[in-house]
Every structure is written in C-alpha cells, then in structure tokens.
Amino acid sequence: MTLLASGALVAAVVTGCGTEGSTPAATPPPPPSTTTTAPPSPVAPPSPAPSPSATLLQEEPVGDVGSAAGAPATEEALSPKEIFAQNVDATVQVLAAEGSGSGFVIDAAEGIVVSNAHVTGGVGSLSVVTSRGDRIPARRLGVSPCEDLAVLQMNTVPRDLTEVTMGDSTLLQAQDEVTAIGFPASFDAAQAGDRTAVPTSGNVQVPRLDAAPHSSLPLYVAAIQHDAVINPGNSGGPLFDDRGEVVGVNSLGNTEQGGRIIQGQYYAISTEHAVPVIEQLRQGVSYGDVGLTGFDLSTLTPDEAGAMWAGGADHPEAFAKAGIPALVVTTVESGSPAEAAGILVRDVITRMAGQPVSSFAEVCGVLASTNPGDAIAVEGFFMEPTQTAQVYDPWRVELRVPAGPAGD
C-alpha cells in the first residue's frame, strides 16, 4: 500500500495522499484577496512508514451519516469538469515539516481546513497553499490519529477563499461517478498556470467497507473504495459525488498485495464516518493522540531494518520466528504523553494495557477502551543502533491518555 503524503511522511505503500492532496471548493472565486487574521500556532509534521499491502475486512450495511454541512444537493448530475471548476479554489495543499498532502476548506469565513492526520504529522510548522499560490501559516485545531483526520485553521484568511459542500456518503452506490481533487507529489505546478490542483475521475467500487491498509495506519471504518486515481500528495483531499458534494476524504490506495501489483483500488474516509469526528476536532477536542507512530517490525524489509539498526537486516525474521509482536516506534511528538512516558524512537512496543500490539490499528483498539486521564501500562524494549535482535533492553512505562481539548 502507499500512503498519499509526500516527504518523510507516514510511508505506506498505500497509494494515497502524502505530498498528498485533493481539495474541493463549493463556489466560484470572488474578487481579489484581502486577509483577516486568525490566531497563529505551531503545527505538526508527517512521519515515515514502509509499505506493504492492504487487507480488506468486512463489508457492512450503510448506516446513518452525521449532520453534513453545506447547500442542498442539485438534482442534475455534474460533469467532472464542472465539479473541478466549482471546487478547485476550495482545495488546498497542506505543507508540513517533513512532507505535504492535500486538504479542503469547509468554512471559508474562518479558514477551516480538513486533511488527514498522517499528513499533518507530529510537532512542527504547518502551512496551507491555495490554488492561487498563496502560502498561509496554519495551526492544527484538533487531530485524531485513530481516525486519520485533522482540522486546521489558517492564520490569515484570503477574502476570495471558497468552501466545499459536504454531502451524504450513505447515498452512494456501486458504479456511481466520483471526482477527486488534490496535489500529487509528482505534479509540476509551474506547468499549470494558477490552477495547480489536479482532478481525476472514476467510479465507486464498494460504497462502504472497513479496510486495514498498513500496520502504521488505523483501521479505516466505513471507507469508500473507488478507482479515481490518487497518488502520493493526494492524501487529505476531497472526493466528490456527481452533485459536486464531498462524500469522502481521500487517504490511501492499494498498489500491491501479496507481491502482485494492484491497480484502481483507492480509499476515502466517508462523510458518514468523518463528519461527526470533524465537528469534534474543530472544537479543539483531540483524541487517541498519544503522540507516537509506528509499524509492525515484521513488515520491514532487510534494507529498512538495516537503516534503523546496524546489522539490523535480520531483525524482522528474528522477531517473526520468535513470535514476538513488535510495533517499532518511528516518531514521538514533542510535549506528547509518549514523550512524557519516556518512549523513544526505535523503541519496540510489545504490549499496551496487557494486550499484544504490532500495528497502529491495535494501538487504537487499546486506546478506544480507555478513558481520558487513564494511565495504561506499556511494555517493550529499546535497541541501540548497534544492537541485534538478540540483545536489547526491556522496559515498562505508564502512558497517560490525554484528557480534554488539545490543539497544536
């Protein structure tokens, strides 16, 4: 699988959205821009991860969607060209310290942008680049790594900024037409004038399923599988239905499974699942954010293991043979609960709250069963860069689950 964010973001071989992007806009651009100022604040960068294959879990019946913002749907289907023209100015590129992705504006008056959590990453600076090329510092209002969603606010708001209309993903059916807009990493904006976002179109393959794409990512609940091409850099961008309304947040794509190349399998977080989360994040309520990312050690290639530890090429096989669950910590955010607990990059976590963990989805499963303010036991070991799989230092710490609002 390839994560669709660029730079040293959370890397998976989920074709999605690192240097990722696709963002919609709901109304045509107004006159030239003046700006109003919103409060500044630091933001976070994306983190790296390797890339294996995606595992689809069960398909589920469609459920009710949370309140969706925006104007009423039009009865007549729009062409991809019309959808792009109406929404390109509401689609933005999100720049983090170690990579980039995409996002889209849901409130033009306040400069509120939705993207993926894996695009914004950990602590660092964040900026939003509009389709007109304006680069504006931004702050993260809220983040939920276990939902892979983040809400940002621009520090200054261009007067000509537009916003998307949120739609109802529960109305989608197989073969419905969809359009994605984003900022793929390979895209050369200099060759495209002032319209730098890239549109692609396709069809819904599965309207609602759960997908476990990569050990560094959470379980995607009620995801939309479609074949509108998205590439690294598209993560966090919008997916539109044929009414020009956002029905999903593009996040990743499956490009390989079992050594076979896969084409045309891309995934978006549905508005059914995303809208209620976005409303909470916008209020400054972050949850499931303990400040670390990681992935299953057994999925590392020898080269990747060797880059983390001298002589580490044998580590994945050694841990797999020993049957040791192993979540390798790849990033620890400054000021986070993970840092306060003393967890370090290259630590290998084996258990949380007494449960074995080897993927980020399993970490999220543990966190989902806790309450804000709880202290949970985390067990693992640390390997110095020169250590082998047979020599390591075990540890046990308490990790406190954050309570209350927490923006960056």
The three state secondary structure string of the chain is: CEECCCCCCCCCEECCCCCCCCCCCCCCCCCCCCEEECCCCCECCCCCCCCCCCEEEEECCCCCCCCCCCCCCCCCCCCHHHHHHHHHHHEEEEEECCEEEEEEEEECCCCEEEECHHHHCCCECEEEECCCCCEEEEEEEEEECCCCEEEEEECEEECCCCCCCECCHHHCCCCCEEEEEECCCCCCHHHCCCCCCEEEEEEEEEEEEEEECCCCCCCEEEEEEECCCCCCCCCCCEEECCCCCEEEEEEEEECEECCEECCCCEEEEEHHHHHHHHHHHHCCCCCCCCCEEEEEHHHCCHHHHHHHCCCHHHHHHHHHHHCCCCEEEEEECCCCHHHHHCCCCCEEEEEECCEECCCHHHHHHHHHCCCCCCEEEEEEEECCCCCCCCCCEEEEEEEECCCCCCCC
- Quick one: pLDDT at residue 251? 92
Closest CA to 41 of 127, 159, 119, 157: 127
Quick one: pLDDT band at residue 179, thresholds 50, 70, 90? Answer: very high
Q: Is 69 left (phi over 0), alpha (psi -120 to 50) or beta?
A: beta
Are both 307 and 336 inside the same structural domain? yes
Question: Cα separation of 27 and 8, whole Å?
Answer: 34
Apex 235 CA angle, 231 and 237, nearest 5 = 105
Tokens representing residue 365 in the block: 């499963």
Are both 147 and 168 inside the same structural domain? yes
State how many domains the chain has.
2
What's the one-letter identity of residue 43? V
- Quick one: pLDDT at residue 45? 38
Quick one: pLDDT band at residue 359, thresholds 50, 70, 90? Answer: confident
**Per-residue pLDDT at 194 exceeds 80:** no
Are both 333 and 249 inside the same structural domain? no
**Per-residue pLDDT at 262 exceeds 80:** no
344/324: higher pLDDT: 344
**Once rounded to an integer, what is the mean pLDDT over residues 285-293?**
84
- Quick one: pLDDT at residue 55? 36
Residue 407 in domain: no
Q: What is the model's pTM?
A: 0.75
- Cα–Cα distances (Å) from 91 to 76, 111, 129, 150, 271, in that order, read 23, 12, 9, 15, 17
Closest CA to 295 of 11, 83, 103: 11
Quick one: pLDDT band at residue 256, thresholds 50, 70, 90? Answer: low
**Per-residue pLDDT at 401 exceeds 60:** yes
Residue 388 in domain: yes
Closest CA to 105 of 94, 91, 93, 119: 91
Residue 251 in domain: yes
Quick one: pLDDT band at residue 298, thresholds 50, 70, 90? Answer: confident
Highest mean pLDDT among 70-74, 120-124, 224-228 belongs to 224-228
**Per-residue pLDDT at 2 exceeds 70:** no
- Quick one: pLDDT at residue 315? 66
Residue 182 in domain: yes
Quick one: pLDDT band at residue 73, thresholds 50, 70, 90? Answer: very low
Are both 118 and 204 inside the same structural domain? yes
Q: What is the CATH number of the domain that holds 182?
A: 2.40.10.120
- Quick one: pLDDT at residue 180? 97
Q: Going by C-beta distance under 8 Å and a sequence separation of 6 or more, which residues neighbour residue 355?
A: 362, 365, 366
- Cα torsion at 164, 170, 174, 176 (round to 10°)? -30
Are both 336 and 249 inside the same structural domain? no
Q: What is the CATH number of the domain that holds 344?
A: 2.30.42.10
Q: What is the largest distance, in Å, between two alpha-carbon atoms of the chain?
A: 65
- Quick one: pLDDT at residue 305? 72
Residue 405 in domain: no
370/254: higher pLDDT: 370
Domain extent, residue 238, equals: 1-285
**Once rounded to an integer, what is the mean pLDDT over residues 146-164?**
94
Note whether 379 and 349 are within 8 A (CB).
yes
Residue 406 in domain: no
**Per-residue pLDDT at 392 exceeds 80:** no
Are both 269 and 300 inside the same structural domain? no
Are both 266 and 347 inside the same structural domain? no
Q: How many CA atoms lie within 13 A of 225 on its CB side?
A: 21
- Quick one: pLDDT at residue 4? 54
Q: Which of 8-22, 113-127, 268-282, 364-378 has the lowest mean pLDDT?
A: 8-22
Are both 302 and 269 inside the same structural domain? no
Question: Cα separation of 276 and 159, whole Å?
Answer: 28
Are both 121 and 262 inside the same structural domain? yes
Compute the mean pLDDT over every residue in the chain, rounded to the nearest whole number: 77
Among 266, 285, 304, residue at a domain's last position: 285
Q: How many CA atoms lie within 13 A of 89 on its CB side?
A: 20
Closest CA to 184 of 257, 102, 242: 102
- Quick one: pLDDT at residue 27? 41
- Quick one: pLDDT at residue 304? 72
Residue 208 in domain: yes
Query: How many C-beta atoms surround the C-beta of residue 149 within 10 A?
Result: 26
Among 227, 253, 285, residue at a domain's last position: 285
Residue 408 in domain: no
Question: Cα separation of 44 and 352, whole Å?
Answer: 25
- Quick one: pLDDT at residue 171? 97
Are both 95 and 204 inside the same structural domain? yes
Question: Cα separation of 55 and 196, whole Å?
Answer: 33
